[in-house]
Amino acid sequence: MAWDFSTEPDFQEKLDWAAAFVRAEVEMLDLEYPELHYTVPTGALKERVDPLKQQVRDAGLWAAHLGPELGGNGYGQVKLALLNEILGRSEWGPTIFGTQAPDTGNAEILAHYGTPEQKARFLQPLLDGEIFSCYSMTEPQGGADPGQFRTRARRDGDDWVIDGFKFFSSNARGAEFFITMVVTDPTEPPQRGFSMFLIPADTPGLSIVRDIGLGGEPYGHGLHGLVRYDGVRVPADALLGTEGGGFAVAQTRLGGGRVHHAMRTVGLCNRIFDMLCERAVSRTTKGSLLSEKQAVQAFIADSYVQIQQFRLLVLHAAWTIDADGGSRAARQEIAAAKIAAPQVLHDVVTRAIQVHGALGISNELPLWRWLQQVYVVGFSDGPAEVHRTQLSKLVLREQAPAPGLYPSEHIPTRLQLVPDDITEALERHAGIR
């Protein structure tokens, strides 16, 4: 089997353009307008952002994740991974390129399951970058365990009525619509008892109790929300997919998204690695550069190895999706990439902080904020611990128990299977005879 992660010269030109564009233009937005990348731009922000988005469109890289059926180029996962590696350097990167989460996954759900009216009202503006959306799944008491979810939808005539709370619903405040997973049959397990609904943000009964930020952000501010569904009434066609098919709908958005997020983490690790190396060749202590200290050399070597291993792991996951026709065939590779992402980011950013000293933990460098991102990466799209369990089950499913009393590599047992003349030669060589 040949693994090929190469790209055609014309697409490599696009990647080269994107890399230069992100460094020169998009990274500046992180400084000018921090934490506003999920805000519908108006006024000065709109004047600043819209020309950048147009440049991306002109380069043929806007919403590059879209398939031909949605007006995209159908680049495939390897090409998307290489692009997302570049976008991972900047918080604004995905928004400027029309690939921000959770909108990309929500667009996939709408493309697969939305009605013509829903696509006209929500999908096209979402693809055009004119609106944002929210994926509302986890709950205050449930965390990553869907078996604990309590938000219910019950039939009332031709409508559904939804009641409950959702926690840490990203981009809730700025969303035009919510895609929400709820219990529709509590007598069934989550795989058959959950359903997915599209709910416009202005639907009566839907309210944001409070905004939730990350640690260090002011209380009551942030990009995430505690959302209340209090008698939220939606028509029957608000159901996305089939009743009881919520898990299948969720999987539509998760597989490729995990690869994109992992590759963005590669891009962020590369940026941190550049900072680590720059510091090493810039700072002198005890009569020599930091780059001449063995501890720092070990930091650099270990970081390089980890990033390259991780990068190839993610690219292999992307290649497997392309080669085998879907994320289901790459479940092991996707789970492995998800597990590796927070660990590699943690190790690289921790080393960079150490080499930068007090400046590394200050608010004059972004390293401390990126250390916090380790935990965001670890929780996003399901905790890494859940993926460890899944990966081990997938691997063990392909294994068979030893055929007898001893392990299959037990030397005396294996020698019994060797022809007599070879056995005698081995025994003579080992000094047994």
- What is the separation of C-alpha 78 from the centre of its chain, rounded to a whole number of angstroms? 15
Enclosing H/E stretch for 54:
helix 43-58
Dihedrals phi, psi of 256, to nearest 5 degrees: -60, -35
Q: What is the pTM of this model?
A: 0.87
Assign 3-state DSSP to the chain and report helix, strand, coil percentages, each to 5. Answer: 55, 15, 30
Task: Residue 52: name the closest of 104, 129, 122, 127 by CA.
Answer: 129
Question: How much of the chain exceeds pLDDT 70, in percent?
Answer: 94
pLDDT digit string, tens, across residues 323-362: 877 777 788 999 999 999 999 999 999 999 999 999 999 9
Place of tokens 């005879």: 433
Task: Residue 179: name the closest of 105, 243, 98 by CA.
Answer: 105
- What is the separation of C-alpha 380 from the centre of its chain, rounded to a whole number of angstroms? 6
Torsion sign across C-alpha atoms 344, 350, 354, 356 = positive
Torsion sign across C-alpha atoms 95, 181, 139, 329 = negative
Enclosing H/E stretch for 305:
helix 294-324
Domain 132-244, CATH 2.60.40.10 — does that match? no
Q: In CATH terms, are 132-244 and 252-397 the same topology?
A: no
Cβ contacts of 174 within 8 Å, gap of 6 or more? 38, 39, 40, 132
Structure tokens that stand for 56 in this block: 């991306």
In a 13 Å sphere around the CA of 140, the CA atoms on its Cβ side amount to 9
pLDDT digit string, tens, across residues 394-408: 999 989 999 999 999
Q: Are 137 and 172 in contact (CB under 8 A)?
A: no
Structure tokens that stand for 52 in this block: 């950048």
What three-state secondary structure class fits 309?
Answer: helix
Between 2 and 232, the more confident residue is 232
Structure tokens that stand for 337 in this block: 């990439």
Ramachandran region of residue 289, left (φ > 0), alpha (ψ -120 to 50) or beta?
Answer: beta
Alpha-carbon span 193 to 245, nearest angstrom: 8
For residues 246-270, give the mean pLDDT.
84
Task: Residue 166: name the closest of 175, 154, 178 by CA.
Answer: 178
Q: Are 338 and 387 in contact (CB under 8 A)?
A: yes
Question: How much of the chain exceeds pLDDT 90, in percent?
Answer: 62
pLDDT digit string, tens, across residues 8-37: 899 999 999 999 999 999 999 999 998 778
For residues 125-147, give the mean pLDDT.
87
Alpha-carbon span 408 to 105, nearest angstrom: 45
Other beta carbons within 10 angstroms of residue 44's beta carbon come to 10
Alpha-carbon span 121 to 107, nearest angstrom: 12
Say which DSSP state 406 is in: S
Q: Which of 6-10, 136-140, 298-302, 303-307 has the lowest mean pLDDT?
A: 6-10
Ramachandran region of residue 35, left (φ > 0), alpha (ψ -120 to 50) or beta?
Answer: left
DSSP 121-186: IIIHHHHTTS-EEEEE---TTTTT-GGG---EEEEETTEEEEEEEEEEEETTTTEEEEEEEEES-T
Enclosing H/E stretch for 98:
none
pLDDT at 432 over 60: no
Place of tokens 């700072």: 283
Enclosing H/E stretch for 339:
helix 331-356
Task: Residue 138: name the closest of 90, 180, 76 by CA.
Answer: 180
Ramachandran region of residue 171, left (φ > 0), alpha (ψ -120 to 50) or beta?
Answer: left
Query: What is each CA distance from 273 to 89, 215, 367, in whole angstroms?
Result: 11, 24, 11
Range list of H helices, 225-293: 246-280
Task: Residue 333: name the closest of 395, 264, 411 by CA.
Answer: 395
pLDDT digit string, tens, across residues 175-225: 999 999 999 999 998 889 999 999 999 999 999 999 998 887 788 888 889
Alpha-carbon span 259 to 322, nearest angstrom: 12
Pick the CATH number of 252-397 from 3.30.365.10, 1.10.357.10, 1.10.10.10, 1.20.140.10: 1.20.140.10
Each domain of the chain, given as residue ranges in start order, spans 9-100, 132-244, 252-397, 407-433
Say which DSSP state 242 is in: S
